[in-house]
């Protein structure tokens, strides 16, 4: 039965048994199953449930003839593509021949039939059928393989989660490493695994675990399979390392001894914020000749996970040791009992404060993860749909708008984090000048109004004066007002209202934002302006955000020598925020009054520009504004290279790209570009090293070529450093195409306007 099922079916349709017998004798072969049908009806019934490689169909038959049968065969989905060869004794039937070909016939053979011709033509379709079936089988195998890979990834993820929970519950550093070593080997699928942690002097091993074998300090231990030079390289470079015999990157010098057998190696450093203090390595991939890039990424994740768990366990062990020593001291020194009691109370209070701070940190990190991943979900999801290529124009527009909106949301989150960082380090500067506060309020109301109207929220401005001039940074004051307004709209339910009042006297101007929203609980009100604090930090909270906006507002207001306060009668009773600033004539003198180029650069990098979003959404038309320019792009990120290359090429420039500083230097000498655009953060040699080497050349060898620093390091200090290194200007990521082109036009000295 198995052999019969593997044979290829050939359907022969003819009302003459003699003809069928003749066809069968000509076409007989071991791999074929020749099926007879005496009429069109019988052939159609057979084709309902059976696939055939080719149909030999007599034209003239009683009942439904061959042409009618072919038409019915072509009308069915299952049999539509089966090749049909018509057999006929009518050599003058051109009309029938034409109709046969119109019905999808692949050939017409006249009777009497030449056996060799018939065999050769049928053999073609038999072979075609075999290849088609083989392709189907390969597709099924590929589908099964994809399912296997997906299941394997899910299993890895499950094991990774289980390992994280197990390590989080462990308090002994030695046990943490011991459990981690075996789990890492099983998750990645290696024969052997080793994990080592250096002592505080950074020269000797404090712990070393080899699969299920763990030793401490200078006690006798099994040597690692990998050589000390290879492990030292992991510590020195601080990045993962993947070697294999197949790729020719692994040789005997990488082995600890001649008796060791190692075909593939994967290592990842265990890192602290300052340096590498340990390593994880795995040898001999179980189901492959070498470790994959996915294995490398997973090893880095595992190394990060064990670093956190080990550090927690170490700190806990030290805390336990400290507690034991303290208890012993209390027992031995009874004369200092009162002092020891006070010390214990202070320590408990400090620990409680530390635990509170740790809980606040954990809540903030959880919120940060959620707020960053939420827009990423939309971005990655729509990107996947776009790559599918099945979106119509309206859905494509919606997809791009969603991706752009979520990217801007992520950019705003990053801006808030950078602002908090500058606040903590004292690097937030102001560009002070006379500012009409009423105009900022009116512009911000116009910006927030569409969101308010979408929720049927009434915005009631009551600006009793329009001549309240303060000494301030316009961008930062706009950031303050925007935060207050957007918070009011955000926490006000549909159908509510937001009232905005502005008054001033001889010395101060006062802005009041009052809403009918959910209000602020009395317990949380004292902490409303604290960093990293939110009234609802649970995963079920109704409103997004990092809880940084009001903390930034308070600091910016204080830098302007003003005050801000919040009042609420409780949950569900709305909130009132009152901002007070000195008028320009009454503002105290301070160091911030003279803002030079550094402060302006800082403002340019960090300003929250609400109106600017509209400009960023505009698309650039294709033009020849950069026609004739040769531009060399240097960036190790392929996506960024492709984006910048496409934007500039659409404006007429001739663009080439390189992925490293060394490649860029070679292309600079060979191609003679007019402009250099370089990323700063690159492996091996960064953008600063590249521009240093370029500026060392003489003018004849492009030493004076204009250069633009394009980087995600977007602070004012980064701006100053780029200029000092030899770049003409500094452009921060994420890239706005219009700003990129305007920068190129300005740097190369072209005055042509850019259409948007």
Q: What is the pLDDT of residues 683-712, one digit of tens each?
A: 888 899 999 999 999 888 888 999 999 876
Query: pLDDT higher for 23 or 419?
Result: 23
Residues 6 or more apart whose Cβ sits within 8 Å of residue 156: 187, 298
Are the CB atoms for 43 and 11 separated by under 8 Å?
Answer: yes
Distances (CA, A) of 691 to 677, 688, 714, 729: 10, 5, 18, 12
Spatial distance between the Cα atoms of 32 and 378, rounded to a whole number of angstroms: 54
Higher-confidence position of 286 and 167: 286
Burial of 467 (0-12, 13-18, 19+ CB in 10 A): exposed
For 512, phi and psi rounded to 5 degrees?
A: -125, 125
Domain with CATH 1.10.287.130 in the chain: 333-423
pLDDT of residue 693: 94
537 in Cβ contact with 363 (< 8 Å):
yes
pLDDT band (50, 70, 90) for residue 631: very high
Q: Tell me: pLDDT of 41 over 50.
A: yes
Contact 500, 493 (CB under 8 A): no
Distances (CA, A) of 520 to 364, 488, 577: 19, 12, 11
Q: What is the CATH number of domain 618-748?
A: 3.40.50.2300
| 84-124 residue pLDDT tens | 888 887 655 566 677 777 776 777 787 788 888 888 888 88
The alpha helices in 238-388, defined as continuous H runs, are 293-332, 337-388
Copy the structure tokens of residue 641. Answer: 């290279």
**Does residue 690 sit in helix, strand or coil?**
helix
DSSP output for 444-495: HHHHHHHHHHHTTPEEEEEE--S--EEEE-HHHHHHHHHHHHHHHHHTSPTT
Confidence bin at 507 (pLDDT 50/70/90):
confident
**Mean pLDDT for the stretch of residues 191-200:** 87
**pLDDT higher than threshold 80 for residue 14:** yes
Query: Are 205 and 196 in contact, with CB atoms under 8 Å apart?
Result: yes
pLDDT of residue 141: 84
Residue 721's pLDDT is what? 87
pLDDT higher than threshold 70 for residue 62: yes
Residue 153 banded pLDDT, cuts 50, 70, 90: low
**Residue 220 predicted with pLDDT over 60:** no
- DSSP H helices, 203-336, are 228-237, 293-332
As a whole number of angstroms, the distance between CA 77 and CA 326 comes to 85
Contact 442, 461 (CB under 8 A): yes
Q: The domain 170-320: what is its CATH number?
A: 3.30.450.40
The set of residues, in sequence order, having a beta carbon less than 8 Å from that of 198 and lying 6+ positions away, is 204, 205, 206, 235, 277, 278
Per-range mean pLDDT, top range of 88-102, 395-409, 521-535:
395-409
Q: Which residues contact 666 (CB under 8 A, 6 or more apart)?
A: none
Distance, CA of 445 to CA of 449 (rounded, Å): 6
Q: How much of the chain, in percent, has pLDDT values that exceed 70? A: 81
Which pLDDT tens digit goes with each residue over 559-598? 888 999 999 888 888 899 999 999 886 555 444 443 444 4
- The structure tokens listed for 455 are 């929720």
Please tell me the distance from the alpha carbon of residue 499 to that of residue 520, in angstroms, as a whole number.
Answer: 17
Tens digits of per-residue pLDDT, 115-147?
888 888 888 888 888 888 888 888 888 877 777
Q: What is the mean pLDDT of the chain?
A: 79
Specify whether the CB–CB gap between 541 and 527 falls below 8 A.
no
- Report the percentage of the chain scoring pLDDT > 90: 12
- Residue 605: pLDDT band (50, 70, 90) is very low
Question: pLDDT at position 695, please?
Answer: 92
Q: Which two tokens stand for residue 634?
A: 């240097």
For the chain, where do the domains classified as CATH 3.40.50.2300 start and end?
A: 2-135, 618-748
Which residues are CB-contacts of 625 (< 8 A; sequence separation ≥ 6)? 651, 652, 741, 745, 750, 752, 754
Cα separation, 333 vs 317, in Å, equals 24
Q: Where do we find the tokens 């006070």?
A: 342
The strand pair at 190-198 and 205-210 is best described as antiparallel
User: 333-423, which class in CATH?
Assistant: mainly alpha
CA separation, residue 527 to residues 297, 520, 667 (Å): 40, 10, 57
What angle, rounded to 10 degrees, do the helices at 337-388 and 293-332 form? 170
Q: In what order do the strands lie in the sheet with 675-678?
A: 654-658, 630-634, 675-678, 707-711, 729-732
> What would the two tokens of residue 118 be?
């018939």
* pLDDT band for position 518 (cuts 50, 70, 90): confident
Distances (CA, A) of 186 to 147, 166, 192, 284: 20, 15, 9, 12
Kindly state which CATH superfamily the domain 2-135 is placed in: Response regulator (3.40.50.2300)
**Exposed/middle/buried for 624, CB within 10 Å: 0-12, 13-18, 19+?**
exposed
Pick the CATH number of 428-597 from 3.40.50.10490, 3.40.50.720, 3.30.565.10, 3.30.160.160: 3.30.565.10
Phi-psi region of 669 (alpha: psi -120 to 50; beta: other; left: phi over 0): alpha
pLDDT value at 750 more than 70:
yes
What is the band of 360 on the pLDDT scale with cuts at 50, 70, 90? Answer: low
Which bin fits 519, alpha (ψ -120 to 50), beta or left (φ > 0)? Answer: left
Per-residue pLDDT band for 542 (boundaries 50, 70, 90) equals very low
CA–CA separation, 516 and 491 (whole Å): 9
pLDDT by residue (tens digit) across 405-428?
777 767 767 777 777 777 777 777
């Amino acid at each position: 039965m198995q052999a019969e099922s593997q044979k290829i079916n050939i359907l022969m349709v003819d009302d003459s048994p003699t003809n069928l017998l003749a066809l069968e004798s000509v076409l007989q072969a071991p791999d074929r199953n020749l099926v007879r049908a005496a009429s069109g009806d019988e052939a159609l019934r057979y084709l309902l449930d059976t696939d055939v490689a080719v149909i030999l169909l007599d034209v003239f038959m009683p009942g439904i003839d061959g042409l009618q049968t072919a038409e019915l065969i072509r009308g069915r989905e299952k049999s539509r593509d089966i090749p049909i060869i018509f057999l006929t004794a009518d050599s003058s039937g051109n009309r029938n021949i034409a109709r046969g070909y119109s019905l999808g016939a692949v050939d017409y053979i006249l009777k009497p039939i030449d056996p060799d011709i018939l065999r050769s033509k049928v053999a073609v379709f038999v072979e075609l059928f075999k290849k088609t079936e083989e392709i189907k089988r390969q597709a099924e195998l590929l589908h099964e393989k994809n399912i296997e890979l997906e299941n394997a990834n899910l299993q890895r993820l499950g094991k990774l989660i289980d390992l994280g929970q197990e390590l989080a519950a462990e308090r002994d550093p030695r046990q943490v490493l011991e459990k981690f070593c075996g789990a890492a080997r099983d998750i990645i699928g290696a024969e052997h695994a080793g994990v080592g942690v250096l002592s505080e002097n950074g020269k000797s091993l404090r712990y070393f675990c080899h699969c299920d074998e763990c030793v401490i300090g200078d006690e006798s231990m099994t040597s690692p399979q990998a050589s000390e030079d290879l492990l030292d390289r992991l510590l020195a470079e601080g990045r993962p390392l993947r070697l294999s015999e197949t790729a020719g990157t692994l040789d005997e010098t990488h082995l600890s001894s001649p008796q060791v057998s190692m075909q593939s190696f994967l290592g990842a450093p265990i890192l602290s914020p300052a340096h590498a203090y340990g390593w994880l390595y795995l040898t001999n991939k179980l189901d492959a000749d070498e470790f994959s890039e996915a294995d490398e990424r997973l090893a880095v994740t595992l190394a990060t996970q064990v670093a956190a768990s080990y550090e927690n366990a170490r700190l806990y062990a030290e805390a336990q040791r400290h507690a034991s020593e303290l208890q012993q001291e209390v027992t031995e020194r009874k004369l200092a009992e009162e002092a020891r009691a006070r010390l214990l109370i202070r320590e408990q209070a400090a620990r409680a404060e530390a635990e509170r701070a740790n809980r606040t940190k954990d809540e903030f990190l959880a919120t940060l993860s959620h707020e960053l991943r939420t827009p990423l979900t939309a971005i990655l999801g729509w990107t996947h749909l776009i790559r599918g290529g099945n979106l119509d124009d309206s859905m494509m527009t919606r997809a791009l708008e969603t991706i752009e909106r979520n990217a801007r949301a992520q950019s705003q989150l990053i801006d808030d984090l950078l602002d908090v960082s500058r606040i903590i380090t004292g690097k937030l500067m102001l560009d002070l000048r006379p500012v009409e506060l009423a105009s900022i309020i009116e512009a911000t109301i116009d910006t927030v109004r569409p969101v308010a109207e979408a929720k049927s929220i009434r915005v009631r401005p009551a600006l009793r004066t329009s001549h309240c001039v303060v000494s301030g940074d316009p961008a930062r004051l706009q950031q303050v007002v925007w935060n207050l307004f957007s918070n009011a709209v955000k926490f006000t339910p549909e159908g509510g209202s937001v009232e905005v009042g502005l008054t001033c006297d001889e010395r101060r101007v006062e802005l009041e934002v009052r809403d009918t929203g959910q209000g602020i609980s009395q317990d949380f009100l004292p902490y409303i302006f604290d960093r990293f604090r939110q009234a609802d930090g649970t995963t079920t909270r109704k409103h997004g955000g990092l809880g940084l906006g009001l903390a930034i507002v308070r600091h910016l207001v204080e830098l302007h020598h003003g005050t801000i306060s919040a009042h609420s009668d409780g949950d569900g009773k709305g909130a009132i925020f009152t901002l007070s600033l000195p008028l320009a004539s009454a503002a105290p003198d301070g160091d911030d009054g003279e803002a030079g180029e550094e402060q302006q650069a800082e403002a340019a990098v960090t300003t929250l520009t609400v109106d600017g979003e509209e400009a960023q959404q505009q698309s650039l038309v294709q033009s020849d504004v950069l026609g004739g320019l040769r531009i060399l792009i240097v960036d190790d990120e392929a996506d960024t290279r492709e984006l910048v290359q496409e934007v500039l090429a659409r404006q007429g420039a001739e663009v080439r790209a390189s992925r490293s500083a060394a490649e860029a230097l070679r292309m600079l000498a060979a191609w003679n570009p007019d402009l250099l655009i370089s990323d700063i953060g690159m492996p091996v040699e960064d953008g600063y090293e590249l521009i240093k080497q370029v500026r060392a050349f003489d003018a004849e060898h492009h030493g004076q070529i204009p250069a633009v620093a394009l980087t995600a390091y977007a602070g004012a200090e980064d701006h100053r450093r780029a200029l000092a290194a030899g770049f003409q200007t500094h452009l921060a990521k994420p890239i706005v195409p219009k700003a990129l082109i305007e920068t190129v036009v300005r740097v190369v000295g072209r005055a042509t306007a850019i259409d948007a």
